């Protein structure tokens, strides 16, 4: 039985290698399934035989409480980004100062996330995320579910292999189709889907997402007698890894580099996976050694990013929306198009001046792109395709929701009606938001529905929803559990510190940071409500504009009455100075790059909650720079000034 068991594993591993690596399957799917089912049957009957590299480990099954942190033996540094031919030429010139006649590998830049695999005697022992380059997370159980990652290598060696974890376009479309059927939010793009999948605590979920892995780097190639990056890629293929050997090429000058970039750009849409650029590496490993590293990036490589993809569509409608301050925003609604991995059907047109400058007209053919591959924007109107009878843009003169005449301030138009339904809905959305009262479970759609049904009209109505509990539970899409969760979150919010409530009120110009400063100064809502312009204007970071706005807000008796009603309903009206609230008093932080687990807003909130300040630029007054992935020029300036650098783990330690 043991002999047959080992034979089956060898047969299945060989079939996987031929299918994924060589792209030349020698057995049918039915034969593969027969071998697999026989293997599974043996392991069920004789569990003591099960090997670490058994293909049955790929189905997942382990559920973790959390991901352990792991330190990379060799830091996982990322490359600097460049965006045009001039920057390619500058990179080539820098290389030639040290290596007179370089040869480059030109490799597609996979649009996923970097991963590190550790093998001992050819058996997969650990998989980890890049993290901040020094410390990542142990995702071994999820890595094992990726079929293109060999659980056992063809050679019994110890080795670390790095590559890109990604989701193919087919797997992405399949996952979104399933999420659509289940009524779940769709993934924005394959990169985000892959990143979210490898960080699932239940490995069965990761297994269901059909992720892939493309190997591209060995940190210590000299150990295996390798002399070039090309040799490394061939060696990886021999070990059983999928590499991009069909699309990789060599270049000896800028002309050849540009030719291959143009080629990859031309076939980009037809590839089964997303690529967002090209990686250039000096091929000879001795040349790499001569070039070395800066403090944060290799000198021997660079990442060229494709220009933001622009696609054409037709503008169907310009729709005007109303924000909580009454600001009117024109929005372009167009026939849906795929841009940089997402299906896009609308983009903001900002204000009247923007629309007139672009000369947008309903019916126009327009080009759309994602600014920074994230935010949809209208690039231009293709006027050569315009129908001469299209009407020029005209700004509306009354609110689209309440018909009140608009007023213009600077470049923007506003609805002055404080009772406008659209303004009120946006105020309610802001009130429950994370940096405000942080009432979990209230999406925009729920608040709009509750508003239209009459359950929510004012802030105080959140704290009266308990009265309508039975009615709410009978609404379509709700039930006892979901309503109880909402009511529990509402009740918990009553104990928030004063600064959250002040920010939640939506006083013009009073952001989360200003609300914190005001709360620490006045200590109570009563003192804040009774403050004068003269008392406010002398507070650090308040100033004349904010002071005038606060005074104007409290001159409205309705606002005072609402705050008093919130007090009667049990909301805390005092500043709660928790134990660590002043530990970073007077310290200035700069955040740069993408952090592994924290969003920029979360990190900022942690700093400000502990008395620190967040700045957008590095100066001599900066105390700490918090480094994420791709930190950019702020890192370099911080090094020059001798400022303390923190990765995410070190940053979090400040709060323990």
Q: Which helix (H) or strand (E) holds 649?
A: helix 648-653
The confidence score (pLDDT) of residue 541 equals: 78
- The predicted model gives 620-645 an average pLDDT of 82
**Phi-psi domain of 403 (left: phi exceeds 0; alpha: psi -120 through 50; beta: other):** left
* Dist. CA 316–CA 333, nearest whole Å: 6
Specify the higher pLDDT residue, 83 or 261: 261
177-217: per-residue pLDDT in tens? 888 888 777 777 788 889 888 988 888 888 999 999 999 99
Fold of 421-493: DNA polymerase; domain 1 (1.10.150)
Reply yes or no on whether the pLDDT at 507 is more than 50: yes
The confidence score (pLDDT) of residue 216 equals: 96
pTM exceeds cut of 0.85? no
Could you tell me which of 373, 497, 357 has the C-alpha nearest to residue 437? 497
pLDDT-derived band at 632, boundaries 50, 70, 90: low
- Kindly state the tokens that stand for 622: 């900066």
**Which superfamily, per CATH, for 71-81+94-305?**
DNA ligase/mRNA capping enzyme (3.30.470.30)
pLDDT-derived band at 581, boundaries 50, 70, 90: low
Fold of 2-51: Helix Hairpins (1.10.287)
The percentage of the chain sitting over the pLDDT mark of 70, rounded to a whole number, equals: 95
* Dist. CA 169–CA 342, nearest whole Å: 11
334-383: per-residue pLDDT in tens? 998 877 656 788 999 999 999 999 999 999 999 988 754 457 889 889 98
- Kindly state the tokens that stand for 300: 């021997």
642-655: per-residue pLDDT in tens? 888 888 888 888 87
Reply yes or no on whether the pLDDT at 70 is more than 70: yes
**Helix H segments across 333-420?**
352-358
Fold of 498-568: DNA polymerase; domain 1 (1.10.150)
Average pLDDT taken over every residue of the chain: 88
* Dist. CA 507–CA 549, nearest whole Å: 7
- The predicted model gives 80-107 an average pLDDT of 92
The ranges assigned to domains in the chain are 2-51, 71-81+94-305, 311-414, 421-493, 498-568, 588-653
Reply yes or no on whether the pLDDT at 558 is more than 70: yes
* Dist. CA 632–CA 628, nearest whole Å: 10
pLDDT-derived band at 230, boundaries 50, 70, 90: very high
205-215: per-residue pLDDT in tens? 889 999 999 99
Reply yes or no on whether the pLDDT at 407 is more than 90: yes
- The predicted model gives 147-157 an average pLDDT of 94
Q: Output the CA torsion sign for 389, 393, 395, 401.
A: positive
The confidence score (pLDDT) of residue 12 equals: 83
Specify the higher pLDDT residue, 575 or 132: 575
Reply yes or no on whether the pLDDT at 578 is more than 80: no
Reply yes or no on whether the pLDDT at 44 is more than 50: yes
Whether 421-493 and 498-568 share one fold: the answer is yes
Check: CB of residue 123 under 8 Å from CB of residue 152. yes
270-322: per-residue pLDDT in tens? 999 999 899 999 999 999 999 998 767 899 999 998 876 678 899 999 999 99
The confidence score (pLDDT) of residue 106 equals: 96
Q: Which of 223-227, 412-416, 540-544 has the lowest mean pLDDT?
A: 540-544
The percentage of the chain sitting over the pLDDT mark of 90, rounded to a whole number, equals: 50
From the DSSP assignment, how many helices (H) and strands (E) are in the chain?
Answer: 24, 22
Q: Which of 398-402, 433-437, 560-564 has the lowest mean pLDDT?
A: 433-437
State the catalytic residues.
109
Q: Provide the strand spans (E) within 238-374.
A: 249-251, 275-282, 301-305, 311-322, 327-339, 342-348, 365-371
Check: CB of residue 545 under 8 Å from CB of residue 595. no
461-488: per-residue pLDDT in tens? 999 999 988 888 888 778 888 889 999 9
* Dist. CA 211–CA 195, nearest whole Å: 10
At the top level of CATH, the class of 588-653 is alpha beta
The confidence score (pLDDT) of residue 540 equals: 78
Q: Which of 382-386, 510-514, 560-564 has the lowest mean pLDDT?
A: 510-514
Q: What is the CATH code for 311-414?
A: 2.40.50.140
Question: Of 425-429, 511-515, 594-598, where does the model show the most confidence?
Answer: 425-429
432-446: per-residue pLDDT in tens? 988 899 898 888 888
- The predicted model gives 122-139 an average pLDDT of 91
DSSP 408-467: EETTEEE---TT-HHHHHHHHHHHHSTTTT--TT--HHHHHHHHHHTS-SSGGGGGGGGG
The confidence score (pLDDT) of residue 60 equals: 57
- The predicted model gives 117-128 an average pLDDT of 96
- Kindly state the tokens that stand for 560: 């005072």
* Dist. CA 407–CA 402, nearest whole Å: 14
* Dist. CA 216–CA 230, nearest whole Å: 10
Specify the higher pLDDT residue, 435 or 518: 518
The confidence score (pLDDT) of residue 390 equals: 94
HSE value, Cβ hemisphere, 13 Å, CA-based, for 104 = 28
417-431: per-residue pLDDT in tens? 988 999 899 999 999
Could you tell me which of 251, 271, 269 has the C-alpha nearest to residue 261? 251
Q: Please, what is the Cα angle at 265 between 264 and 267, to 5 degrees?
A: 65
């Amino acid at each position: 039985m043991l002999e047959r068991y080992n034979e089956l594993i060898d047969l299945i591993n060989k079939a996987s290698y031929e299918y994924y690596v060589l792209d030349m399957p020698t057995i049918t799917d039915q034969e593969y399934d027969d071998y697999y089912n026989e293997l599974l049957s043996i392991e069920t009957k004789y569990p003591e035989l099960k090997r670490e590299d058994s293909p049955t480990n790929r189905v997942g099954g382990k559920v973790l409480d959390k991901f352990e942190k792991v330190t990379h033996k060799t830091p996982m540094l990322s490359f600097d980004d460049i965006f045009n031919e001039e920057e390619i030429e500058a990179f080539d010139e820098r290389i030639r100062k040290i290596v007179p006649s370089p040869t480059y590998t030109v490799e597609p830049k996979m649009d996923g996330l970097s991963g590190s695999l550790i093998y001992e005697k050819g058996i997969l022992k650990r998989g980890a995320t890049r993290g901040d380059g020094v410390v990542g997370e142990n995702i071994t159980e999820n890595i094992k579910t990726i079929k293109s990652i060999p659980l056992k290598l063809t050679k019994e060696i110890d080795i670390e292999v790095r590559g890109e974890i990604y989701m193919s376009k087919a797997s992405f479309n399949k996952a979104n189709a399933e999420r659509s059927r289940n009524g779940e939010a769709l993934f924005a793009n394959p990169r985000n889907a892959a990143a979210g999948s490898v960080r699932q605590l239940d490995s069965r979920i990761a297994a269901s997402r059909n992720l892939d892995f493309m190997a591209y780097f060995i940190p210590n190639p000299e150990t295996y007698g390798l002399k070039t990056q090309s040799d490394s890629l061939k060696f990886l293929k021999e070990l059983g890894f999928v590499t991009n050997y069909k699309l990789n090429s060599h270049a000896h000058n800028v002309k050849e580099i540009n030719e291959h970039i143009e080629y990859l750009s031309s076939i980009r849409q037809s590839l089964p996976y997303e690529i967002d650029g090209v990686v250039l590496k000096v091929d000879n490993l001795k040349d790499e050694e001569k070039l070395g590293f800066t403090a944060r990036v290799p000198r021997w490589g660079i990442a060229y990013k494709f220009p933001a993809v622009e696609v054409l569509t037709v503008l169907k409608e310009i729709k005007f929306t109303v924000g909580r301050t009454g600001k009117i925003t024109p929005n372009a609604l167009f026939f849906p198009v795929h841009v940089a991995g997402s299906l896009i059907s609308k983009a903001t047109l900002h204000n009247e001046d923007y629309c007139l400058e672009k000369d947008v007209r309903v019916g126009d053919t327009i080009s759309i792109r994602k600014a920074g591959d994230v935010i949809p924007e209208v690039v231009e109107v293709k006027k050569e395709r315009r129908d001469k009878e299209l009407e020029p843009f005209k700004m509306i003169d009354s609110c689209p929701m309440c018909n009140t005449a608009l007023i213009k301030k600077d470049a923007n138009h506003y609805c002055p009606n404080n009772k406008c339904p659209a303004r009120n809905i946006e105020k309610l959305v802001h009130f429950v938001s994370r940096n405000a009262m942080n009432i979990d479970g209230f999406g925009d759609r729920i608040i709009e529905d509750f508003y239209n049904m009459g359950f929510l009209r004012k802030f105080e109505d959140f704290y009266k929803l308990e009265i309508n509990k039975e009615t709410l539970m009978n609404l379509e899409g709700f039930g006892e559990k979901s309503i109880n969760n909402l009511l529990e979150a509402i009740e918990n919010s009553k104990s928030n510190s004063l600064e959250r409530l002040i920010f939640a009120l939506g006083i013009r110009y009073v952001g989360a940071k200003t609300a914190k400063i005001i709360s620490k100064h006045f200590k109570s809502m009563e003192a804040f409500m009774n403050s004068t312009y003269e008392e406010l204007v002398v507070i650090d970071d308040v100033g004349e504009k904010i002071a005038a706005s606060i005074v104007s807000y409290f001159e409205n008796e309705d606002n005072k009455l609402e705050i008093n009603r919130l007090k009667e309903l049990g909301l805390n009206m005092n500043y709660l100075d928790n134990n660590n609230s002043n530990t970073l008093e007077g310290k200035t932080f700069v955040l740069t790059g993408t952090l592994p687990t924290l969003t920029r807003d979360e990190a900022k909130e942690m700093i400000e909650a502990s008395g620190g300040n967040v700045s957008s630029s590095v100066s001599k007054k900066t105390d700490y720079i918090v480094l994420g992935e791709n930190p950019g020029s702020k890192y370099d300036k911080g090094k020059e000034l001798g400022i303390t650098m923190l990765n995410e783990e070190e940053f979090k330690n400040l709060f323990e």
